[in-house]
Amino acid sequence: MYRKLVAIALTSLSLVALAGCGSSSASKSDTPDATPAPAENKEKPAADSTTATPGSKVGETVTVGGVKFTVNSAKFVPAVGEKKAKDGYTFLIIEATVENTKQEIFHSNSTVQTQVVSADKFLFDKSAIAGLKAGFDADLQPGAKATGEFGFMVPVSAKGLRLIYTPDLLKMEQKAVIDIGDAK
């Protein structure tokens, strides 16, 4: 009986010690999508392979991964409806069109297929912004098109911004890079 109690006590102490070795750095932030710390603001150093289609401009159509992609407009605004960009940041609002030129359904999703990279190699993921024109995120039949808006929160000091569009995440080398310019 004594041996069983000692074994249970040692096992319990071992489990407590192991649980104490882990760490939890989960913190809840009330700030929007971008904060000064890179780990929390979705700013990440970019890979050097973001120049698949260098020189593409707003208004030009690029064919990549079996779809045609066009950035119709890119504008910088301090607020969208009630949502204001935090101090030192602005919203980059992109209106884009995607056309499925494949012979199968294409899943257009601005959240996973788009990012913005700055000249100093920081990536900015799409921000959730209500009040933008919906339509880009859709399941497109062959030959179908979708047009809509999506946005990013970027520092007002960001230079050389480029939109990266990757239609197939399994083929990361197939991407379009559209020159946006400096934040305003």
Read off the pLDDT of residues 80-119 as tens digits, 9 standing for 90 and up. 998 999 999 999 999 999 999 999 999 999 999 999 999 9
Q: Point out which residues pair with 138 in neighbouring strands.
A: 108
All residues at 6 or more sequence positions from 152 whose CB lies less than 8 Å from its CB, including other chains:
91, 92, 94, 116, 124, 125, 126, 127
Residue 114, H or E segment: strand 114-117
List the domains of the chain with CATH numbers. Answer: 52-179 (2.60.40.1240)
Instruction: Flag whether pLDDT at 74 surpasses 90.
Output: yes
Rounded Cα distance between 116 and 98, Å, is 17
CA angle 101, 147, 142 (to 5 degrees): 25
Residue with token string 């991964």: 65
136-174 residue pLDDT tens: 999 999 999 999 999 999 999 999 999 999 998 888 888
The helix, strand and coil proportions of the chain, stated in percent and rounded to the nearest 5, come to 15, 40, 45
Encode pLDDT of 8-47 as tens digits.
555 554 544 444 444 333 333 333 343 333 333 333 333 3
Could you read off the pLDDT of 109-145 as tens digits, one per residue?
999 999 999 999 999 989 988 889 999 999 999 999 9
Is the model's pLDDT at 177 over the cut of 90?
yes
Q: Which of 140, 145, 5, 33 is nearest to 92 (CA)?
A: 33
Looking at residue 16, its pLDDT comes to 42
Strands 79-80 and 67-77, by their bridges, are unpaired
What integer is the mean pLDDT of 40-62? 57
**Residue predicted with more confidence, 24 or 71:** 71
